[in-house]
Amino acid sequence: MRTIALGLLLGVMGMVGAQAQQTDDARVVLVMTDGLRWQEVFRGADESLLTAERYFDKREVSSLREKYLAATPQERRQKLMPFLWSTFIPQGQIYGDRDAGSDAYVTNGFNFSYPGYSETLTGHGDPRIDSNDDRPNPNLTVLAWLSKQPGFQGKVAAFGAWHVIANAVNPEKCISCTVNAGYDPMAMSPMTREMKLINDIKANSPRVWEDEAYDAPVFETALEFIRVKKPRVVFLSLGETDEWAHAGNYGEYLESAHRVDGYMKTLWDELQAMPEYKGKTTMIFLVDHGRGPAPEEWRSHGQKVPESKYIFMGFMGRDVSTLGVRSKVPPVTQSQVAATLAKYLGLDWNEQEKQAGRPIADAVK
Ligand SMILES: [Zn+2]
């Protein structure tokens, strides 16, 4: 009798433990790259735009054409973003392929960066955020809220190539968060040799853009922080895709999208090699806004470019159904991302923020 009772007790404890583990261990990595079009993600490189006139001062583009062009959209997108197409999407799902009857769009009405990051991080548009001015977000973000939940204190981190990302997260409201953006050096305790090196490279690289660092040191900063501190929620915001597009440099715009894909692969592979993350992590990938069409408006976005409201959003990893490229489905919006992200962690953002979009039902198991 005694043995049976103990066995039962252990069985019950085991179940409780397993249930608790469902949410206690969950981790999310949110990756955004500024203004990458859904067109490149789903169709690959646009041949009509990949010309010397749209590269560095008419630099030769034959190697880039070799690298990114192919006969079909399926082959071209695979060349542009191989991790996305061979790992992320087959193991997850993605919205926003307008050719397949799936629309994803921003609801803030502005179609530029700060409103898009705020919509993503809060779950709603805000008419007060009508510029890219570097001001603190007046709203509570899902990251700031998460950082106050049990098990998340000191476990939320945000890294932005664009300096304004820090204020979009709002470190004053995200007190226990680690936030590093723009050219600011990363302070970490203990400091590692690698982080010092990354800080040096960032500090001593050309400042092509006044308020935006190159993506590479920003990515490396996030990766090194993850290795050392093992945060549960990471927001990585990259920016070159938008900058090169504004500059009319389609060749480098493609190269930066390709690099982002490589960063996601490196990040995912490293996470799967760490017991803290393996099998426990969901990755989300989207953009703050889209851009206009070829031949000229692809450089631009905003209220005057209506097509720039269209975005893509993908999900992979823990608790994501493997539905691949979504086709002929109802539209989804950027305002649904915050609640979806929280749901992967077993938490209800809509309870806190009534204005927020609901989680994308199909995206969470
Ligand atoms: Zn822009």
**What is the CA(90)–ligand 1 centre distance, in A?**
30
**What is the CA(228)–ligand 1 centre distance, in A?**
33
- Taking residue 332's Cβ as centre, other Cβ atoms within 10 Å add up to 24
Alpha-carbon 173 to chain mean position = 21
Q: What angle do CA 92, 98, 101 make, to 5 degrees?
A: 80
**What is the CA(113)–ligand 1 centre distance, in A?**
6
**What is the CA(241)–ligand 1 centre distance, in A?**
9
User: How far is it, in rounded angstroms, from Cα 184 to Cα 295?
Assistant: 36
26 pLDDT higher than 80: yes
User: How far is it, in rounded angstroms, from Cα 76 to Cα 85?
Assistant: 11
Give the residue-averaged pLDDT of 325-329: 98
For the chain, the C-alpha Rg in angstroms (whole number) is: 21
Q: Which two tokens stand for residue 354?
A: 């009534």
- Residue 23's pLDDT band (boundaries 50, 70, 90)? low
At 24 the pLDDT is 73
**What is the CA(141)–ligand 1 centre distance, in A?**
22
**What is the CA(127)–ligand 1 centre distance, in A?**
18
User: How far is it, in rounded angstroms, from Cα 63 to Cα 250?
Assistant: 14
- Residue 5's pLDDT band (boundaries 50, 70, 90)? very low
**What is the CA(80)–ligand 1 centre distance, in A?**
21
247 pLDDT higher than 80: yes
User: How far is it, in rounded angstroms, from Cα 21 to Cα 357?
Assistant: 27
Domains in the chain (CATH in brackets) are 29-35+82-363 (3.40.720.10)
3 pLDDT higher than 80: no
**What is the CA(353)–ligand 1 centre distance, in A?**
28
At 349 the pLDDT is 98
Give the residue-averaged pLDDT of 61-70: 98
**What is the CA(110)–ligand 1 centre distance, in A?**
11
**What is the CA(191)–ligand 1 centre distance, in A?**
34
User: How far is it, in rounded angstroms, from Cα 138 to Cα 118?
Assistant: 10
11 pLDDT higher than 50: no
**What is the CA(35)–ligand 1 centre distance, in A?**
6
User: How far is it, in rounded angstroms, from Cα 213 to Cα 211?
Assistant: 7
This model's pTM is above 0.85:
yes
pLDDT in tens, 131-160: 999 999 999 999 999 999 999 999 999 999
49 pLDDT higher than 90: yes
**What is the CA(301)–ligand 1 centre distance, in A?**
6
Percent of the chain at pLDDT > 90 equals 93
User: How far is it, in rounded angstroms, from Cα 174 to Cα 12?
Assistant: 37
